[in-house]
Amino acid sequence: MQDPTPQGEKKRQRRKDARPSEIIAAAMQLWAERGFAATRLEDVAAGAHIAKGTIYRYFPSKEALFEAALQARIVATMDRARDMAQGFDGPTSQMLSGFFETIRTELVDGGSSVFLRVLLSEGHRFPDLVARYERVVLSRGMSTVRAILAAGVARGDLRPEAADCDPRLVMAPAMMLSLWGTVFTTEGLPDMRSALAQHVAILMGGLGRR
């Protein structure tokens, strides 16, 4: 009598609140397996154990679902990565390792490499999304790299020219290796963590003080 939202209401409500992320999770799994275009919304629905129409209560279109997934999964991580870079003041090699580990965790463990893959191959159809991804993900990543390099120069870990290094060169192996593992064989190759450690070593050698 006193409670206008009794126990009964809550179960459905709890479900409703969880739906969007359940749908996103199902979608990302399938996109990772089959690609964006090749995944039917009906499959996503089945993966989330709901009916096709239910998706449309939460996302107005397939593209919007992609956008929401992107938003939901990445922003937080990139912020975290940047905070880490700015807050932490250890040796440059350690900052780079931390940065790469963050990227690896997000892209590989968190499954965010789908976004990169989809944007790379179907990006022409979603110019707005590409623009947002650049703004939110790529440029933040590049800023982080620049900050790390600048800090390294300031600290004396790196040579002054390191500040002018194209940040994509620093990020590329982390990105590429994440993609690599989703399609190509990695047999006979170092695991991603070791490879990134090698990358740090090369960078420190190539950019560091002689």
**Contact positions vs DNA (CB under 7 A):** 7-12, 15-16, 19, 38-42, 50-54, 56-57, 60-63
Burial annotation 134-162 (CB, 10 A radius, 16+ → b, else e): eebbbebbbebbbbbbebbbeeebbeeeb
| Minimum CB distance to DNA smaller for 13 or for 194 | 13
Q: How far is the CB of 13 from its own copies (least distance, A)?
A: 16
61 sits near its own copies (criterion: CB under 8 A): no
Q: Are 107 and 116 in contact (CB under 8 A)?
A: yes
Q: Which residues pair with 44 in a beta bridge?
A: none
Total binding residues for its own copies by CB under 8 A? 50
Binding test (CB under 8 A) with its own copies, winner from 18, 37, 64, 75:
37
Q: Are 149 and 163 in contact (CB under 8 A)?
A: yes
Q: Which of 90, 69, 71, 91 is nearest to 79 (CA)?
A: 71
34 sits near its own copies (criterion: CB under 8 A): yes
Residue 51 binding result from DNA, its own copies, none, given CB thresholds of 5 to 8 Å by partner type: DNA
Residue 34 binding result from DNA, its own copies, none, given CB thresholds of 5 to 8 Å by partner type: its own copies
The three-state secondary structure class of 53 is helix
Q: How far is the CB of 136 from DNA (least distance, A)?
A: 23
Provide the token pair at 3.
Answer: 């409670």
76 sits near its own copies (criterion: CB under 8 A): no
Q: Are 86 and 190 in contact (CB under 8 A)?
A: no
Computed on alpha carbons and rounded to an integer, the radius of gyration of the chain in Å comes to 21
Residue 124 binding result from DNA, its own copies, none, given CB thresholds of 5 to 8 Å by partner type: its own copies
The residue ranges that bind its own copies (CB under 8 A) are 33-38, 117-125, 130, 133-134, 138, 165-166, 168-169, 171-173, 175-177, 179-180, 182-185, 189-190, 194-195, 198-199, 201-208, 210
